[in-house]
Chain A
């Protein structure tokens, strides 16, 4: 799993590539935690490069969303595809999170 962060319009865009499994999902959560600790509240997660996610990855996203809620934060999940998109739909995560077709459309709406 590779994670890259950049900022645009006050929003942190976190791109995650490869596979988010139970071995590495905590690393992802830690990166988001650091951003939240530094005061960041608006996030777009770019999933365009993610091939695989298991429930451990879903838990990290849910945990992050819960941390953002009292801070009036914003978490948009962008560019879900393939099995990753399927896992989000099956688990009901697609209906609890804001989903965007792409990072650009997420930014346009942000």
Chain B
């Protein structure tokens, strides 16, 4: 298992994202799949850097480990305010530039890019877990999964 812990600050974002992509490349994932996983990691990490520690500083820890033949489990942990990103409402995807709201796409993209995403609050920590495979799951399976994780709430 590889791990990295850094202050949750935007200036560390690239190092953190590169840690995740390094794990994917190390497992022989394709460049395009690595890009998708990086995207999911960036979206989660930006949320933590911007909102997990209002008015104070704190760390974010990343843990990557292989699971089974070719899956990777990526855990993103912070000690900030309780926040379950999976409870966020679906973003506004209306095909209308003027009325479309700008926020909420991050979590949506995470759901689309990783094979599974789970959240748990454990001993005052937020732990977001991605399970990824060398191939993305078909869109239908992703939709079903979105339903199964949507109802989770932070403790």
Contact = CB atoms under 8 A, between A and B. Distances in A.
B18 to A, nearest CB: 11
Interface stretch (B81-89, B96-104, B127-135, B143-151): B96-104
A82 B13 contact: no
Taking chain B's interface residues, is the majority helix, strand, or loop, or is none over half, making it mixed? helix
A105 interface: no
Interface of B: 10, 13-14, 17, 32, 35-36, 38-39, 42-43, 46, 93-98, 100, 102-103, 105-106, 108-109, 112
A83 B35 contact: yes
A74 to B, nearest CB: 12
A95 B95 contact: yes
B32 A82 contact: yes
Interface of A: 21-23, 51-52, 54-56, 58-59, 62-63, 65-66, 69, 82-83, 86-87, 90-92, 95-97
Taking chain A's interface residues, is the majority helix, strand, or loop, or is none over half, making it mixed? helix
Contacts of A58: 105
Given A83-B32, A91-B109, A92-B95, A62 B100 contact: yes
B95 A87 contact: no
Contacts of A82: 32, 35
Nearest to B101: A62
B43 A55 contact: yes
A6 to B, nearest CB: 25
A22 B97 contact: no
Contact of B46 (A56, A62, A95): A56
B105 A59 contact: yes
In this complex, the member of A21, A54, A91, A92 whose beta carbon has the largest number of chain B beta carbons within 10 angstroms is A54
Contacts of B17: 21
A102 B77 CA distance: 42
Given A83-B36, A91-B93, A95-B95, A54 B102 contact: no
A23 B105 contact: no
A82 B140 CA distance: 21
A90 B46 CA distance: 20
In this complex, the member of B13, B32, B42 whose beta carbon has the largest number of chain A beta carbons within 10 angstroms is B42
